[in-house]
A and B are shown apart, each in its own frame.
Chain A
Amino acid sequence: MASTATALDITVGTNVTGSYGKLLSTWFNTATVPATLGASTTYTYGTSAGQANFYAEATASISGGSSIDLYGGLSDAFGQTGNLTVVRELIVVNTSTTAGQNLVLTGNFITAALGTVTNIAVQPGGCVRFSSPTDGYTVTTSTQDTITLTPSSGTLIYKLAVVGTM
């Protein structure tokens, strides 16, 4: 394994802005309320809650099942192999624009670490984010470390980002 990263300062967030209104016929005007949400975490370098020491992103065009091993099969931008023990953030994007062409997530990390799951569907143009800044999702080598990405049909491009500790 290459030397480890030495610093990390990464913010991962789901942020929503907007408004939601209704015409009030009694008064002939529209009531509007803000639609806002912020679910963000800033991670510093380390292995404690709210910290991480590994970040990697991946993208590939796939036409069949493609697996990523979180313990020994994913490298960061510096060629460092991630032997992850905890995932704090997982984001997966399906870049397809074809209706019905889902990206199906399976593998023993998905099915066991994220809950009790058979599969998760990332719909075309869609995205899923799993965030656990304090506890993290446990990675166990061989038994709970694999993410398998499979198009429901054809070929699509996925994007994936992982923040974790090792």
Chain B
Amino acid sequence: MATALNITGVVSVGGTYTGPTTLNSPVQRINHQLGNLSVGYGTGTGQATQLHDLRYTAGAIGQSVLLSAGSSDTDIYDDALSMTQVKMIVMQNLDAAESITITGDFITAGLGTITSLPIHAGGSLTFISPNGYTVAASSDAITHARGGGSNVYWRLFIVGV
């Protein structure tokens, strides 16, 4: 089991947005940190103990990543995932043309009430919760399948307890 973790995740929006010429083209300057998670090692609020960061291939047949105890999926140190909470999850489609579809009982029950989520070509989904989305042994699966005719590389990044 890992013994050290120090991770900061930020969802931000920045840049400029220029108004109509009829208003003399005023400029809105944007610089927001809308989501922010900073965790150290531990099991409390603002803490986490496990990181899973891996690229997968989504194929025609759905395949699952299991987050809870008994999982054969592991972290970088080859320790089995045994999460009870997810503090941050980023699912990033690395393909420029094809979408993928994400299902599985962690997605459908853990993040809300969801049947499926597509991740469009080049797109990503981010969920941050300092208190943690609950992972139960009975709802710990993230299942992925390609949306189109070609296999799709995608990245699953999870910080959990």
Chain A contacts to B: CB under 8 angstroms: 2-23, 30-33, 35, 37, 39, 41-43, 55, 57, 76-78, 80, 89, 91, 93, 99, 104-105, 114-121, 123-137, 159, 161, 163
Contact = CB atoms under 8 A, between A and B. Distances in A.
A14 B9 contact: yes
A73 B28 CA distance: 20
A15 B8 CA distance: 8
B3 A118 contact: no
Interface string B21-64: 11101101010101110000000000000010100000000000
Given A10-B17, A22-B1, A22-B77, A57 B157 contact: no
B32 A161 contact: yes
A52 to B, nearest CB: 9
Nearest to B15: A10
A3 B22 contact: yes
A52 B9 CA distance: 25
A31 B75 CA distance: 13
24 contacts: A3-B21, A3-B22, A4-B20, A6-B20, A6-B21, A10-B14, A10-B15, A10-B30, A11-B15, A12-B13, A16-B7, A17-B8, A18-B5, A19-B6, A30-B4, A78-B19, A80-B19, A91-B35, A115-B115, A121-B111, A127-B34, A129-B11, A129-B35, A129-B126
